[in-house]
Amino acid sequence: MYDLMIYPDAGQAESAAARIIIEQVRKKPGSVLGLATGKTMINIYDILWKWENEGEVSFSSVKTFNLDEYLGVAPENRDSFHSYMRRSFFMQLQKKPAEVHILDGSAPDPELECREFERRIKESGGIDLQILGLGRNGHIGFNEPGSPFGSRTRVIDLSESTRLYYMKNLLELREVPGQALTMGIATILEAREIVLVVTGAAKADAFHKVINGPVDVDVPGTALSGHHCVKVIADQAAAQKLHGHDIKVLKFKRATRP
């Protein structure tokens, strides 16, 4: 069962998600956080670093693990998810996290890189809180439709729709790589708590399938229904197609600042 919180607009949903992360880090300063990239996360990171700069929270003891990275793209490339994370979050902080782990897209042996990543997650004690966005095709991380729910961190082929979507964001690359490294679905499901953030009308169909549809490997987000602690935060635009009695909390809550 999901704990579903629908907010009137994206801003309130983002601030609710940021609040959950801040509360987690205040409760356990050495938290292991699973982080995501994408448009949805930009404002969430903005809230987090601003609060850190004001001394309201510190990420200095936190360990972070990112969901995914393009295969063949070096950390220094402006289109890498390493760069995204530096720009959107890490560079803005007064004190950097104790450890930052992002898959290296330029690793000479990508399979080994994935295995090492899994090992480091285990070594850190496992992910306490995993933040997820939702792809328009229902993907989580870069686990594209058809990804087995038992999958671990691995190399994956990106779908044409995903590549097309990312095309417009490119800064340096001429085209979106055909493959990526991604945390697997089983890896994601091992996080102690998961927060899925879904905003905007473009996600309404995928979100409807995740919440109301049957569990289906072609909609990777439906794997989350097998997890015991998932908070789903959405705005009204993304939630416009939801229905049914399985929705436990479907009301507007007032979002307060973290």
What residues act catalytically? Answer: 68, 137, 139, 144
The least distance separating ligand GLP from the CB of residue 68, rounded to whole angstroms, comes to 5
The least distance separating ligand GLP from the CB of residue 102, rounded to whole angstroms, comes to 12
Minimum CB distance to ligand GLP smaller for 61 or for 217:
217
Interaction residues for ligand GLP, span 16-45 (CB under 6 A): 36-40
Output the CA angle 193-212-39, nearest 5 degrees: 55
Is there binding between residue 181 and ligand GLP (CB under 6 A)?
no
Q: Which of 143, 165, 169, 166 is nearest to 222 (CA)?
A: 143
Sorted by sequence, the CB contacts under 8 Å of residue 129 that are 6+ apart come out as 20, 21, 24, 31, 32, 33, 34, 191, 192, 193, 194, 195
Is there binding between residue 184 and ligand GLP (CB under 6 A)?
no
The least distance separating ligand GLP from the CB of residue 197, rounded to whole angstroms, comes to 8
Minimum CB distance to ligand GLP smaller for 67 or for 189:
67
Per CB under 6 A, the segment of 112-120, 131-139, 231-239, 245-253 that binds ligand GLP is 131-139
Tokens of 77: 């490339």
Q: Which of 157, 159, 163 is nearest to 176 (CA)?
A: 163
Is there binding between residue 141 and ligand GLP (CB under 6 A)?
yes
Output the DSSP codes for 105-166.
Answer: TT-SSHHHHHHHHHHHHHHTT--SEEEE---TTS-BTTB-TT--TT--SEEEEPPHHHHHHH
Per CB under 6 A, the segment of 22-30, 85-93, 135-143, 241-249 that binds ligand GLP is 135-143
Minimum CB distance to ligand GLP smaller for 29 or for 145:
145
Binding site for ligand GLP (CB under 6 A): 36-40, 67-68, 133-135, 141-142, 162
